[in-house]
Structure 1
Amino acid sequence: MPIWQTRQPLPREVRLLVAARAVNRLGAFSLSFLTVLITTRFGANATTAGAIAAAFGLATIPSRLAGGRLADRLGQRRTIVVGLTACALAQLGIAAAGSLAVVMVFAVLLGLAFELYEPPSQAMIADLVAADEHVRAYSLLNAALAAAGMAAGLLAAALGRWDLRWMFVVDALTCSICAAVVHLMLPANRPSPARTAQGPQWRLSPWRDPALLLMLGCGTLMAVVCLQVMMLLPLALVDRGLQAADAGLLSTASAVTLVAGQPLVRAARVAMLPMSVAFALGYGLMTLGLIGYACAQGLPAYVVSTIVWSAGDLVLVGRAYAIVAELAPEHHSGRYMAVYGLSWGVAAVVAPIAGTELLQRAGVTALWATMAGVCLALAFLQPAVARAVDTRRTRPALDTTDARAPADSVE
């Protein structure tokens, strides 16, 4: 088998969606400065700013569930446009707010709109791309967002020196551009009620699908690890005598690894790996990288460790979403993606509390050793789940609700 595969380009609609989301990501830096805006412009204390930020985070959980339901009921394109437009309006409301109460209202409204477009974006990719190309498509989306994130950091540095409110204006602008591209250039879709009724009734509710719930559990553990790196790495660096700002350099190293490693994703020997083997390899590399964090004393060691765990993330990216896409019954991919995406909402609540407690009580080495232990556990758990899903996918469906309906398929 040749090392490199020659593949057809992904569908034009997928490439347009990825490009639009990358433009949107260029402006998605404003939320990192929400608490700073609240404290500097309105004189609120850190506790109040944190409470408003927490209210935003809590509002994103029903937002994602609503995004999945609307995607399956109204169509993916409409839901993406509605979500992005609502985000833009809320961002402008924050920028123009003249009081702390108004900021709080628009922050909650932003949270309620913030995740609406994620499930339909993921579901649209699942519907437009063949099953054997799902991993490649989701990897491309992740790489595009990572590349845009690097540029977003530079843009934030420039605008932050001028006026923090302009960050929210630029974020609103990128949301609007993304919404316009999606509305004008991507196909509309509306689920067919007649076809939605096909398939085993228990699978029409994602909450009653045991395989999806197993994926949600594993995804939540993975999200907790990723958020610990995102939120606690600056504190951990300071504890080791380095600068908190060095976390930005490490974030850039991770993004470069994800972008530069895209040819590896297309390599035949990687693309053709069974899901169980790919998960074991990916989580194994993440385990090694986090052990490196636990032992690192200087910045070069942190950079090497970051590249190692990011290489593991590169192998993993897209594979979990590909499994969820295969699990979803026809015309229910939005809801399935929404439920799986809750892993990040749950982790956003658990990670900062558990991580700061562990860091304060046990120290940096224990923090990263614990996260490495979680990844090592996932290296065994996630492949087992992938094998179970593959068994269900290849087993003939005997429990259809209508003998005349086609056999249940997750392709």
Structure 2
Amino acid sequence: MLRELVGGLPRTFWALFTALLVNRAGAFAMILLPTYLTAGRGTSLAVAGLVTGGYGAGGAVGTLLGGVLADRWGRRKTYLTGTIAAAILMLALGFAKPLWLIAALAILIGLMHMLPSPAMVAAIVDVTPEHDRPRAFNLQFWAFNMGAAIAAALAGIVAEFSFFALFAIDAGMTALTAVLIWRLVPETLPKPSHGSAPERGSLGMVLVDRVFLAFVGLTFVLALLTAQSISTVQLAMSSDGLRPSLFGLVVSVSGALIVFGQLFVPKLIGARRHAGVLTLSLAIIGFGYSVLAFADVGWVYLAAAIVWTVGQMFAAPANASIIAELAPWHMRARYQGVFNLVFPAAFFVAPAIGGWSLQTLGPWHWIVCGALGVAAAVGHLLAEPARARRVSADRAVPSTVEPVAAARGLEELARP
């Protein structure tokens, strides 16, 4: 059973997996950045919000820049640049005193934190055979959430001891991530076969790919619904007179479900079509949120959270596999960079309109969320034929097929 879940994946994938787990487990400084600013530096809530927003803005720039660099410069160089720079900047943030310097460093750290993200996903696609990619992406999603759960558990404890320790330990774990990449991960960027001209690409080409952008739009709905669990659900529970600790329990249960259940998702979805999995996923998520229209006690919120978390677990490997299929080999990281913008955008829009919508519509807000889930589920069914035609057409054109010689040599290097 365990071999079916994790067996047969390349050595380079496991190096990337380990680096991601280490990096996320130590990424707890930015979790408590607002608390550090208000309690440690005495800023107002508004200023703390602006500085934290700057971190997010830097991340949006970083994911686009990281995609371009990873395709042009290489996955390994981009990953190392982001992690080394982030470690140095994080330590500097721990020493920074002037507010303008803290704000500037937060923006730069956001940029450097997101710079390696497209490179990491592109590298996973580079080294993993197509039939193994759903399992690989499922494990990547697990590592991200496992690391985040560890960071969330440690952040408060470390902060009670020392705010500076937050930044110092975070910097150290980021530096350790860089060492792992330096020692264990080779350059995976495919090279054109001997004698052929290098493939050219640009960010603009990604932004006019209508099939891909339709997929990004549907994923934005998924991200928008996911963001409800952090922002609007908290407001709804508060208005129902429920204690903050109960909201913490809801978040913890969702995280625990991912940590203990995500590894079994590939077995459940098998070789089913990605569009079918995403349709089921969004329908489940929409149903989970629509239940909140009738919620006023803690156990209903808890049950609904379990439902929508199951939907999110199904969506993760299917989403990543579709990107791998749609992205030309020489623009993988650029496509991933554009796709990554969906999540910061959703986590900005959701709290911005969620409170207004909940106040104006009341319980109907959750019915609207359910309807959005169903609409996106239908959207994936309608978009599937165009995606299938696109993938078939790409595979029929020699210039869009990944160079065989590079892939074969890399496979020999990457296999355990």
Q: With structure 1 as the length reference, what TM-score do the two structures score? A: 0.90
Q: CA deviation at 1:186?
A: 0.8
- 2:54 and 2:287 map into 1 onto residues whose CA distance is 36
CA contact (8 A) 2:324 2:332 kept: yes
| RMSD (Å), alpha carbons | 2.5
Q: How far 1:321 sits from its partner (Å)?
A: 1.5
C-alpha spacing 1:93/1:263, structure 2 compared with 1 (3 Å): closer
The 5-angstrom pairing of residues 9-408 of structure 1 reads: 9-192=8-191, 197-198=198-199, 205-267=205-267, 270-363=269-362, 365-395=363-393, 406=398, 408=400
Q: Could you tell me the percent identity over the aligned residues? A: 26
> How many Å separate the matches in 2 of 1:393 and 1:236?
43
Amino acid at match of 1:44: T
Report the secondary structure of 2:296's partner residue.
coil
CA displacement at 1:256 relative to structure 2: 2.1
Distance 1:346 1:251 in 2: 21
| Residues 1:328 and 1:196: Cα distance change in structure 2 (over 3 Å) | farther
CA contact (8 A) 2:119 2:333 kept: yes
Deviation of 1:6 (Å)? 7.8
Conserved 8 A contact 1:67-1:334: yes
Per-residue Cα deviation, 1:31-54 (whole angstroms, up to 9, x for no partner):
232122112222221111111122
Q: For structure 2, list consecutive stretches of 5 or more residues without a partner in the other structure.
A: 404-416
Equivalences, count:
400
Q: Are the counterparts in 1 of residues 203 and 334 from structure 2 also a CA contact under 8 Å?
A: no
Q: Helix, strand or coil for the counterpart of 1:98? A: coil
Q: Which runs of 5+ in 1 are unaligned?
A: 401-405
Query: Equivalent residue of 1:273, what SS?
Result: coil
| Aligned partners of 1:75 and 1:191 also within 8 Å | no
C-alpha distance in 2 between matches for 1:95 and 1:318:
36
**What amino acid maps onto 1:258 in structure 2?**
I
Corresponding residue of 2:409: none
Report the alpha carbon displacement of residue 266 of structure 1 after superposing the two structures with TM.
2.9
What displacement does 1:193 show? 6.3
55 and 27 in structure 1: CA distance in 2 versus 1, 3 angstrom threshold: same
CA positional deviation for 1:197: 4.1
SS across alignment from 1:104: helix
Q: Distance in 2 between matches of 1:345 and 1:152?
A: 20
| Contact 1:393–1:409, Cα closer than 8 Å, also in 2 | no
Return the offset for 1:126.
1.0
Mapped to 2, the partners of 1:186 and 1:170 lie a distance apart of 23
- Cα distance per residue 1:268-301 (max 9 Å; x no partner): x612111221111111111121122332222222
Residue by residue over 1:156-196, the C-alpha shift from the partner in whole angstroms, topping out at 9 and shown as x without a partner, is 12112122232222221221111110111111245536767
Deviates more, 1:389-398 or 1:209-218: 389-398
- Cα distance in 1 for residues equivalent to 2:197 and 2:27: 35
**Post-superposition offset of 1:121:** 0.8
Per the alignment, in what secondary structure is the counterpart of residue 187 of structure 1?
coil
Check conservation: 2:142, 2:263, Cα contact below 8 A. Answer: no
Q: Distance in 1 between matches of 2:86 and 2:16?
A: 18
User: Could you tell me how far 1:135 is from its partner in structure 2?
Assistant: 1.6
Q: Deviations over 1:322-345 (max 9, x none)?
A: 111111112211111001111113
Q: CA offset at residue 245 of structure 1? A: 2.8
| Residue 410 of structure 1: how far off its partner (Å) | 7.6
Q: What is the CA–CA distance in structure 2 between the aligned matches of 1:234 and 1:170, rounded to whole Å? A: 30
SS at match of 1:71: helix
Change (3 A) 1:347 1:262: closer
Q: Residue 403 of structure 1 corresponds to which residue in structure 2? A: none
Q: Which amino acid aligns with 2:393?
A: R
Supply the distance in 2 between the matched residues of 1:254 and 1:38 (Cα, whole angstroms). Answer: 28
Distance of aligned partners of 1:339 and 1:238 in 2 relative to their CA distance in 1, 3 Å threshold: same
Residues 196 and 257 of structure 1: CA distance in aligned 2, closer, same or farther (over 3 Å): farther
- SS in structure 2 of the partner of residue 230 of structure 1: coil
- Aligned counterpart, 2:406: none
Residue 28 of structure 2 contacts residue 166 of structure 2 at CA under 8 Å; is this kept in 1?
Answer: yes
- CA-CA distance at 1:203 after TM superposition: 9.8
Contact 2:222 2:282 in 1 (8 A): no
Q: What is the rounded CA distance, in whole Å, between the counterparts of 1:232 and 1:327 in structure 2?
A: 33
Q: CA deviation at 1:29?
A: 2.5
Kept in 2: contact 1:280–1:380 (CA 8 A): yes
